[in-house]
Amino acid sequence: MKACGCLGCTPFALQLHSLVVKLRLASHISIQNSLVDMYIKCGAIGFAESVFFGIEEPSLFYWNSMIYGYSRLYGAYKAIDLFARMPEHDSVSWNRLISVFSQHGLGEKCLFLFLEMCDRGFNPNFMTYGSVLSACASIGDIEWGAHLHARVLRVEHGLDAYLGSGLIDMYAKCGCLELARHVFDCLEERNEVSWTCLITSVAQFGLEEDALALFNQMRQAFVVLDDVTLATVLGVCLEQNHVAIVELLHGYTIKSGMDSYVPVGNAIITMYSKFGDFEKAYLAFRLMPLRDTISWTAMITAFSQNGDISRAHECFDLMPERNVITWNSMLSTYVQHGLSEEGLKLYVLMRRKGVEPDWISLATSIRACADLAVVKLGMQIVSHAIKFALISDVSVANSIVTMYSRCGQINEAQKVFDSIHMKNLISWNAMMAAYAQNGLGKKVIETFEDMLKTECKPDHISYISVRSGCNHMGLVVEGKHYFKSMTNVFSILLQMSTLFV
């Protein structure tokens, strides 16, 4: 059962469980505990739960395991309910719960649990601090992070590489890169994790050259590279002059055998695609001994960027499994290349397969309906947006405005536009374009003036609609006024001067 858990093979786990029952060993406490552990490691939390609650007195170890299992199946708050039912707690119980809330992005609750743990006399360890620092980073609470930093220095009498990495990450995500660098400089011991953490932090600030310089320093310090470091550095290489670096790193991954690591392979595919070398990206993909959904999706995206729709579709069809991101990638490929009808067919197939759409699926599909001016199917997809509570997403709402306007239903477009609480530039442009397309020049001007009152800065697309509105109403003087504001106030390029000729 331990071996089965390591393999994560649920069908085999069920066979083993049947054999246990057949041999009448199911009442042995050690067997019961092993069954729980096996099912949790296989991700079959429902089966683990049924065995667990059949045990008269589960050990504390398996209560702690079930907290993790519950968090995966039911979420963090169900895990805390189970925690409350435990007959006793230890430091592992608290660490497990704090880790769960940190991993689920519930930073404030994680900090509250940390305080409660300390109040009840349990001493935090490096795992506790790591989870709480991650929580501080997720909510950008630098005051709490600095408090933890001071506590660690006071109680632990120094920083190891693990805690140092957590502090580097926390300070960087809170916008304090210099403090992150200071922590790194003060570390007596630096391993690949701390180096990678600083490189990632520097890259997040857009300092790609500095990040690559740090990578060179890391190599000179003879720190062993791992797959995370290589994937991170490959992700830093964004400019065309980094092609040679990518090729050198690719060669190193092959020489060291790290090209077999999926994250490294995925990063190589993405980098070659960014540089437009799609054949090398495809070669790297083909040479990967193992591929995950990200690998396949990256290749679909690469073919899409190259305009090779047939190979993108071939990749999509060959995928052993797909998630919503993959479906979105293929859907966007069709719509972006003017194959909106194929895109809509794919969306219908996606729903038949039981895949729940996200805001990208809905916005892209509604855009396809707008391109084809098919209001009936568009309204069905709008009903999906309502069903999945995504109707308030601004990107989805913007697409709906465009779809209704292109189908001639300007009043419906207006209703959706009015319902958007946080309008962005695309929202305003969509509504102005809707009025312009339907010959309502006065409404275009009114909407434009309303947008300016919100301090939303227009772009050249805004002025195309304004020009159209002025033309429809014969407002030459007003047209010249808006042209001057375009060039003098909003600094939009003068190439747009042809708009008002």
> pLDDT-derived band of residue 397, with 50, 70 and 90 as boundaries?
very high
- Is residue 382 in some structural domain? yes
Does one domain contain both 417 and 493? no
- Is residue 383 in some structural domain? yes
pLDDT single digits (tens) 263-279: 898 999 988 888 888 99
Q: Which of 364, 358, 351 is nearest to 324 (CA)?
A: 358
- Is residue 112 in some structural domain? no
- Is residue 289 in some structural domain? yes
The token duo for 499 is: 């708009």
Does one domain contain both 463 and 428? yes
Task: Confirm if 110 and 125 have CB atoms less than 8 A apart.
Answer: no
- The domain boundary residue, chosen from 421, 452, 479: 421
> pLDDT-derived band of residue 111, with 50, 70 and 90 as boundaries?
very high
- Which residue bears the tokens 């069954």? 35
Look at residue 183 and tell me whether its pLDDT is greater than 90.
Answer: yes
* Residue 494: per-residue pLDDT: 43
Q: How many domains does the chain have?
A: 3
Does one domain contain both 300 and 337? no
The token duo for 169 is: 């990450």
- The domain boundary residue, chosen from 390, 421, 452: 421
Mean pLDDT of 451-466: 84
Q: Cα–Cα distance between 457 and 451 in angstroms, integer? A: 8
Q: Taking the model in full, what pTM does it have?
A: 0.70
Residue 20 amino acid letter? V
Q: Count of alpha carbons within 13 Å of 461, Cβ hemisphere only? A: 11
Does one domain contain both 387 and 339? yes
Does one domain contain both 233 and 296? yes
Q: What is the CA radius of gyration of the chain?
A: 28
Does one domain contain both 244 and 292? yes
- Is residue 287 in some structural domain? yes
Q: Cα–Cα distance between 330 and 352 in angstroms, integer? A: 16
The conformational region for residue 303 under phi > 0 = left, psi -120 to 50 = alpha, else beta, is alpha
The token duo for 336 is: 């972006």
* Residue 488: per-residue pLDDT: 59
H/E element, 384: helix 375-387
The mean of the pLDDT values for the chain is 86
pLDDT single digits (tens) 134-179: 999 999 999 999 999 998 888 877 788 888 999 999 999 999 999 9
Q: Cα–Cα distance between 331 and 17 in angstroms, integer? A: 42
pLDDT single digits (tens) 318-363: 998 899 999 999 999 999 999 999 999 999 999 999 999 999 999 9
Look at residue 239 and tell me whether its pLDDT is greater than 60.
Answer: yes
Q: Cα–Cα distance between 16 and 5 in angstroms, integer? A: 11
pLDDT single digits (tens) 67-100: 888 887 778 888 888 898 888 898 999 999 999 9
pLDDT single digits (tens) 405-431: 999 899 999 999 999 989 999 999 999
Does one domain contain both 435 and 479? yes
The token duo for 38 is: 């096996």
Look at residue 396 and tell me whether its pLDDT is greater than 70.
Answer: yes
Does one domain contain both 231 and 287? yes
- Is residue 310 in some structural domain? yes
Calculate ∠ Cα 301-305-307, nearest 5°.
115
Q: What is the CATH number of the domain that holds 346?
A: 1.25.40
Does one domain contain both 339 and 415? yes
pLDDT single digits (tens) 35-58: 887 888 787 877 887 788 777 777
Percent of the chain with pLDDT over 70: 94
DSSP state of 172: H
Highest mean pLDDT among 188-192, 243-247, 276-280, 395-399: 395-399
Does one domain contain both 306 and 351? no
- The domain boundary residue, chosen from 260, 287, 321: 321
Range of the domain at 407: 322-421
The token duo for 500 is: 């008002």
- Is residue 441 in some structural domain? yes
Look at residue 492 and tell me whether its pLDDT is greater than 70.
Answer: no
> pLDDT-derived band of residue 498, with 50, 70 and 90 as boundaries?
very low
The token duo for 52 is: 């667990």
Does one domain contain both 234 and 301? yes
Does one domain contain both 286 and 302? yes
- Is residue 8 in some structural domain? no
| Range 153-176 burial, b when 16+ CB lie within 10 A, else e | eeeeeebebebbbbbbbbbbbbeb
